[in-house]
Amino acid sequence: MKLFNLRETYTGDIVPRATSATYCGVSIFRDACYQLVAAFLITYITFAGVLDTGDAYLAQMGVINIIMIICLVWDGLNDPIMGWIIEKVHFKGGKYKPWILIGALGNTAVVLTLFLARPTGWGFVVLFGVFYLLWDLVWTINDIAYWSMLPSLTRDEKIRNRITSIMQICISIGVFAVYGAVPMLVRAGHQAQDYGTIAIIVTSLYLISQIALVLVCKEHKRDPELEAKEQNDASFKDMFTLLKKNKPFRSNMIAILLNYLGSGVLVGFAVYYFYLMYGYGNKAGGNIQFIFTIMYAVGTLIAQVAYPLLSRVMTRKTLTLVGGICFTAGYAAMFLLGFPVFGPTPIATGNLIVLLYICGAVIFFGQGIHAVLLIMQMQSTIEYNELTFGERKESIASSVRALNAKFGSAIQRLLIYLTLSFSGLYAITTKISNIEYQANAKEDIWASMSADAIAEYVNNNIIQGIDRWQYIVLAVGMIVVPTILMLIQTIMAYKFPIDEKKYGEIVEELKARENATANN
């Protein structure tokens, strides 16, 4: 077996072992790099002291949030453009792999700049605006190409189930690694330096993994006639045409948008919640978030490992209900136990903090089931499109999925910003950022204080001043809103028209059509 497969392809539904293993495995580092920016760049900006203090801080945070929302919406619109480009422009190295590499190189350079270049105040806001827009662009190139490759690997539903589940497990490992490590490693008074070190490590592993994918993976050999037709017919309006004429695809995309929005809100609030509810610093709220992230990993990984097994004995509709019941119960319990609903402090404190971890495991088990389920439903619409309209359009379909992810992130960002602003919690983070700014600049007493001493001061003099009503407002944005969104998504996923039986009929009809063409 050759070690490097730059231009080699394969045929049939059996995916080469090295290809499936590498394709799935690199998603650990892809999603670790993505989550470092998507989840922690705003936390880095909020707490690391890169902005000015006082009223200037609030103005700069407002501009940064506006920039993020605009860029995410614009990036979502760029996704179908990139899908169209991939359908239209093919390299000798393959349809997907060259684009994956181009995006990886650009993404590495941009992420390092965002975390290592440190002008302060409005200078940082300008740098952020330019490079966050660039990050949207280079990540889109890599992301659309990577996800477009997935449905092209095989039509066999069992193999597709297995590859999708393994890939989701690897994605989860990357997400958990970042969500768990960052709160534990980032110290009070040292946020800027610690984030810079983490960025160097994460981006290096990401780039190495993407080069490995290009060298090792084989692309599936495509039908020359079908490929030529798709290249010639590819148009930017394909996204709108696909949404209009492919009803199962349209339904699935709405459900995926709601899923991205609802499931991402909890983790989007996580650092604010754990720092402000359980104490600032890696040994207080950061430590609790680390253990909560382990529960995140446990619940999600169990769901993703179990999905192929459960799908043998349960229909997709049954799995939809199981997932929905789990995360609804978990959200309700976390609202009642993790916030000061019945008194000045939440029930889940001290020895009872374990209740919070159980809530997390149940929530993320349900979300993990739905994450795999929705991707499987999306892939089913590719074969439906081929059977009904004579074209697959994997890149266009994947670009709409990515567009949903970006729109979901933009709405999440707006929800988080409005919640923190309305609750007055940004006034608290302003004071913390001021301390970090002075510690970074080696100013006043902070330069000589240890990380533990700075954290203790923040907890005793700033966080203790938060009112109970502010936490309840936080709970509405963090728990109540995503619960409603996820329930709507559950209903839509349950009503998805292509079940296992229907998909089997589609695949058999496609095979019969191909055999008839070959015999003629």
Interval 79-126: pLDDT, tens: 777 777 877 777 777 788 889 999 999 999 999 999 998 888 899 999
pLDDT band at 135 (very low <50, low <70, confident <90, very high): very high
pLDDT digit string (tens) for 20-61?
889 999 999 999 999 899 878 988 888 877 888 777 888 888
Distance CA 412, CA 410 (A): 5
CB 474 within 8 A of CB 269: yes
Residue 329 in tokens: 């119960």
Quote the distance between the C-alpha of residue 118 and its chain's center: 26
Task: Give pLDDT, residue 185.
Answer: 84
pLDDT band at 306 (very low <50, low <70, confident <90, very high): confident
Distance CA 306, CA 165 (A): 9
| 387-415 core/surface letters (b: 16 or more CB in 10 A; e: else) | eeeebbbbbbbbbbbbbbbbbbbbbbbeb
Global pTM value: 0.73
pLDDT digit string (tens) for 450-500?
778 888 888 888 888 899 999 999 999 999 999 999 999 999 999 988 888
Which among 75, 87, 77 is positioned nearest to 235, based on CA atoms? 87
Q: H/E/C letters for each residue in 209-265? A: HHHHHHHHCCEECCCHHHHHHHHHHCCCCHHHHHHHHCHHHHHHHHHHHHHHHHHHH
Residue 231 in tokens: 């290249």
Neighbours of 465 (CB within 10 A): 11
Strand (E) or helix (H) holding 20? helix 17-25
Which among 226, 254, 232, 221 is positioned nearest to 8, based on CA atoms? 221
Task: Give pLDDT, residue 1.
Answer: 45
Q: Residue 9: helix, strand or coil by DSSP?
A: strand
